[in-house]
Homo-oligomer: A and B are copies of this chain.
Amino acid sequence: MPNTPPSNPPAAGQPPGAAPPPAGRQPRNRRLPAHERRDQILDAALHEFSERGFGAARMDDIAARAGLSKGGLYAHFESKNAVFQALMQRMLMPDLLFGERPPLAGAPAPEDALAARVDGFLDRAYERLEDDRFIRTLHLLVAEGPRLPDAIAGWRESHLRLLRRQQAMMRRGVEDGALRDSALTDAVQLVHAPILLAAILKLLQDEAHARSVLPRLRAAHRRLLLDQLREPGPD
């Protein structure tokens, strides 16, 4: 994004993201263990890529944010693409879009156990929304994923695996009589959908709105899960 005119009058609403480039760098920090440096660099890259987009992110800024010089950065990664790839590798392990653990199913359990499990699930899910790195990773995935199909091939596969496993568990829960057969057991995604929506809301709406809406959304989400999954009971 060369000009953005400086000249160019940086009028309100201009693309180069609100936050200014990272700050200067500390004085001479030498020789970190290579893998620590790599992590610092990837953190910096996550920040910059999500802040400006892959194309518009600058190696200079990534380097500065990671606390070394541009030249030093190239000692660890041979190109901008390589940084991006490595970032995608790292982001892969815990599934980001649909949670790394099966949400609700499990061995048969008393009624209260369902409520407990639902609350545990919601706790984890909505907590992640407060994690800056989670939000940025999601942003990056949605923003750059479509134009980099190959880069996220890994994510795609692991996501599919995860979904299948979760779907199977739901089915088993129904067979076991622990869960009611419902729309949610037809498609696990419906369990996750409100969280994705909440995340996107956080990305696009201002904090004030997010803070006021999220609790209501979560409460409704809870009601939905219990309503749909709770077995009517033997009365």
Q: Which residues of A contact B (CB under 8 A)?
A: 1, 3-18, 50-57, 78-82, 84-85, 88, 97, 139, 141-153, 155-156, 159-160, 182-184, 186-187, 189-190, 192-194, 196-197, 200-201, 203-206, 209, 213, 216-217, 219-221, 223-224, 227-228
Q: How many copies of this chain does the complex contain?
A: 4
Q: Most chain-B Cβ atoms within 10 A of its Cβ — which of A81, A152, A203, A221?
A: A81
| Chain B residue at smallest Cβ distance from A3 | B7
By Cβ-Cβ distance, the 9 closest A-B pairs, closest first, are A6-B7, A5-B7, A7-B8, A55-B56, A7-B7, A5-B6, A13-B150, A6-B8, A143-B143
| Chain B residue at smallest Cβ distance from A145 | B204
User: Min CB distance, A73 to chain B, in Å?
Assistant: 14
Q: Most chain-B Cβ atoms within 10 A of its Cβ — which of A5, A51, A80, A141?
A: A5
User: Min CB distance, A72 to chain B, in Å?
Assistant: 15
Asked if B139 and A142 make an inter-chain contact with CB atoms under 8 angstroms apart, the answer reads yes
Given the complex of chains A and B, what is the CA–CA distance between A32 and B55 in angstroms?
32
Given the complex of chains A and B, what is the CA–CA distance between A219 and B186 in angstroms?
9
Given the complex of chains A and B, what is the CA–CA distance between A134 and B189 in angstroms?
22
Asked if A156 and B55 make an inter-chain contact with CB atoms under 8 angstroms apart, the answer reads no
Asked if B224 and A151 make an inter-chain contact with CB atoms under 8 angstroms apart, the answer reads no
CB contact under 8 A between A153 and B219, given known A4-B81, A81-B5: no
- 11 sample A-B contacts, Cβ–Cβ < 8 Å, listed by A number: A6-B9, A13-B149, A53-B55, A55-B57, A139-B142, A160-B209, A182-B223, A184-B224, A192-B197, A196-B197, A228-B228
User: Min CB distance, A67 to chain B, in Å?
Assistant: 21
Q: Which residues of B contact A216 (CB under 8 A)?
A: 186-187
Asked if A139 and B148 make an inter-chain contact with CB atoms under 8 angstroms apart, the answer reads no
